[in-house]
Amino acid sequence: MEIKGPLVISVQDDDSSLKRELHITFKPAFKQSPVAQRVQALQDYMNELSLAMQPLQQDSSDRRGMETVHQICGNLLEHIRADEIDLNETIVIEIQPKISISSFVTGHSSIN
């Protein structure tokens, strides 16, 4: 399921190291907007994600992906509000190979 928003998110897998990364960039219109509009756009996007998740089963891959993106946006929101992020940079989030996306979202891991 595709939700249109202010971010471009891609997944990069490195088969040799078994690393998975999320690469997040900001769309040009978002970068060119005043800070207040950026904050509103990000909040609107998070609301849209929340609504889209409601009818989905807990174990749905679409839902898990949306939960991950929603959590990332929540973490970015205060930094966007404070205008602390260089919007021309790509944000890279490394996901450990033995941790599932759902564990990443909930903060639980079976790795000791």
Range of the domain at 34: 7-106
pLDDT (0 to 100) of residue 15: 78
Strand partners, 92: 23
Residue 112 counted as domain residue: no
Q: Express each pLDDT in 70-96 by its tens digit.
A: 999 999 999 999 999 999 999 999 876
Residue 1 counted as domain residue: no
d(CA 65, CA 38) in angstroms, rounded, equals: 22
- If one counts the domains in the chain, the total is 1
What rounded mean pLDDT belongs to the chain? 84
Contact 7, 26 (CB under 8 A): yes
Q: 3-state DSSP call for residue 75?
A: helix
Residue 92 counted as domain residue: yes
Q: Look at residues 108, 17, 111, 100 and name the one whose alpha carbon lies nearest to residue 59.
A: 100
Residue 37 counted as domain residue: yes
The dihedrals phi and psi of 96, each to the nearest 5 degrees, come to -65, 140
Residue 13 counted as domain residue: yes
Average pLDDT over residues 96-110: 48
Q: How far is residue 64 from each of residues 36, 37, 78, 109, measured CA to CA in Å?
A: 29, 27, 23, 15
Residue 63 counted as domain residue: yes
Q: Return the percentage of the chain with pLDDT > 70, whole number.
A: 82
Residue 52 counted as domain residue: yes
Q: Express each pLDDT in 22-81 by its tens digit.
A: 899 999 999 999 999 999 999 999 999 999 999 999 888 888 888 989 999 999 999 999
Q: What is the pTM of this model?
A: 0.77
Residue 111 counted as domain residue: no
